[in-house]
Amino acid sequence: MQRKIRMGMVGGGRGAFIGAVHRTAAAIDGEIDLVCGAFSSTAEKSKASGEDLMLAPERCYGDFKEMIQKEKRRKDGIDAVSIVTPNHMHFAPAKMALENGFHVICDKPVTFTLSEARKLKDIVEKTGLTFALTHNYTGYPMVKQARHLVQSGALGQIRKVVVEYPQGWLAFLEEKRGYKQAEWRTDPKRSGIAGAVGDIGTHAENLAEYITGLKITEMCADVSTFVEGRLLDDDANILLHFEGGAKGILHCSQIANGDENNLNIRVYGELGSVHWYQQEPNTLVHKSQEFQKVYRPSVGNLCPEAKANIRLPSGHPEGYLEAFANIYRNFARTVRKRMNGETPNEIDLDFPTIEDGIRGMQFVETVIASGKSNTKWVKFKS
């Protein structure tokens, strides 16, 4: 098969922020065609959203069930489904898509509950299809370079990890002011048991485990809801224990007034440390008491994983959309190779999977349990 991957989208219609991000990311490399969708919970809005995207009217569906059933019968039907709905609507379309032979790429967190995530893992394993999760920050070239430095032993044994994700956009009760993105993220019926912890805390957890290669084993969490009238958490401060003896601090907040998307991580080993800030994503600093080295995309001797995810000559900024696109591109290449009976290579397979989704849901449930517990340390659920 030498053609583009044909993709359908669930969610992401008019007024949805993340749907446009997914569509742009999927289109950047020219390896994926969005050919259909069920873009909204109402058929009328879904069809109108499809018209906005200039899709064929007969492929703008009223709901995901109709889309999957009709696309399965088409000779030119889709190969994969992208799911960009609120959390409570991830599991059902992912399950149906996989069971009908379609590969899936899904926004995070993977499902509404840990139980759903485990069921989805069983389905992925049973079908043998490709499942990708858009923890997009792992797509940055300098994140991959940081991971390489840790894995190569350049930092020595990891001792401490500090990862933060402060935002300020929910410093006030935006969910009561008609702000759609705030409404569902703070609604337990659509977001789940966590607010900030599930929305951005899972990104911080995933980034820490991706770069270090170490799994969190237990934690002590202080979880808060600062804005009066809010139903879910908007701030959390968490002490972490990692396998191998490393200690960590994870802070996530959506009431950090003045911050935008200030995700950052510092990993300290016995021989040195790495420092990366998402708002300056093209710079990675590797330093110790004796030296300081700055890594930049397309400059110097970078690892193969970083090189494979660089798109532009040095000095041209790459950012959020390109990092997102790296996950879509690797997903597309993996799907294409598997459809051709070929074996994807390690760089093709460098994207978050259902396993990362389960770790994220385990993280959410453990943090919330720890936040409610009088016990100092709570074992990471497995």
| CB of 253 closer than 8 Å to CB of 167 | yes
Residue 10 is predicted with a pLDDT of 98
**pLDDT mean over 80-107:** 98
User: How far is the C-alpha of 18 from the C-alpha of 16, rounded, in Å?
Assistant: 6
Residue 365 is predicted with a pLDDT of 96
**pLDDT mean over 351-371:** 97
Residue 257 is predicted with a pLDDT of 98
Residue 376 is predicted with a pLDDT of 85
Residue 374 is predicted with a pLDDT of 87
For residue 359, name the pLDDT band (cuts at 50, 70, 90): very high
Cβ contacts of 342 within 8 Å, gap of 6 or more:
none
User: How far is the C-alpha of 347 from the C-alpha of 82, rounded, in Å?
Assistant: 21
The three-state secondary structure class of 287 is: strand
**pLDDT mean over 305-323:** 93
**pLDDT mean over 212-222:** 97
For residue 363, name the pLDDT band (cuts at 50, 70, 90): very high
User: How far is the C-alpha of 124 from the C-alpha of 29, rounded, in Å?
Assistant: 26
Which amino acid is residue 168, in one-letter code? G
Residue 163 is predicted with a pLDDT of 98
Residue 16 is predicted with a pLDDT of 87
Residue 198 is predicted with a pLDDT of 98
Tokens for 11?
A: 């969610």
Percentage with pLDDT > 90 across the chain? 93
| pLDDT > 90? residue 381 | no
| pLDDT > 90? residue 15 | no
For residue 213, name the pLDDT band (cuts at 50, 70, 90): very high
For residue 375, name the pLDDT band (cuts at 50, 70, 90): confident
Which range is least confidently modeled, 25-29, 243-247, 255-259, 312-316? 312-316
User: How far is the C-alpha of 134 from the C-alpha of 320, rounded, in Å?
Assistant: 12
**pLDDT mean over 94-118:** 98
**pLDDT for 58-68, tens place per residue?**
999 999 999 99
| pLDDT > 90? residue 118 | yes
